[in-house]
Amino acid sequence: MTTRSSGFSLIELLVVVAILGVLSAIGISSYSGYVKSSERKAVENIMQQLSLGQTEYYSGNGSYYSATGSNCSPTSNTSTAIETNLLGGTDAISADLRYEMCIYSHTSNYMIKASEKTGTCQITMTAHGTFTRTGC
């Protein structure tokens, strides 16, 4: 007389675990891509706010705000100076954004530059609202 087991075999369980592992790996990589994409969009939105701040600054001072000459390196100091001078001291470039920003003179206008703190992504925006992404 043979007895029949009603459980799963070891092979069946291993196949299920392997399938779940593949699905979770795909899900995690897709999720991290969505997070990076949303961070870039948030940075671009802040850059557009800074452009509006530049218009207001120009109306009051007769020139655009520029922290440096013809180029800049974004740091926490330049980001804080931008927040103070163009955004009324609001914390728009927050620490959880993972980007730093700076503004520099470009011909008779300005350029806004954002760099990832721990990465290679750099986003620049002209005074006319044209974005350029490198290393993203």
Mean pLDDT, consecutive 10-residue stretches, the chain (136 aa), reads: 74 94 92 89 93 92 81 87 87 86 86 91 92 91
Residue 45 lies in a domain: yes
Alpha carbons within 13 A on the beta-carbon side of 120: 3
Residue 56 lies in a domain: yes
Instruction: Count the domains in the chain.
Output: 1
Residue 8: the pLDDT is 81
Q: How far, in Å, CA of 124 to CA of 135, rounded? A: 12
Residue 34 lies in a domain: yes
What residue type is 56 in one-letter code?
A: E
Contact present, 102 and 68 (Cβ < 8 Å): yes
Residue 88 lies in a domain: yes
Q: How far, in Å, CA of 91 to CA of 70, rounded? A: 26
Residue 16 lies in a domain: yes
- Tell me the residue range of the domain where 47 lies: 11-134
Q: How far, in Å, CA of 40 to CA of 43, rounded? A: 5
Residue 3 lies in a domain: no
Q: Residue 123: which H helix or E strand, with range?
A: strand 122-126
Residue 1: the pLDDT is 60
pTM of the model: 0.76
Residue 57 lies in a domain: yes
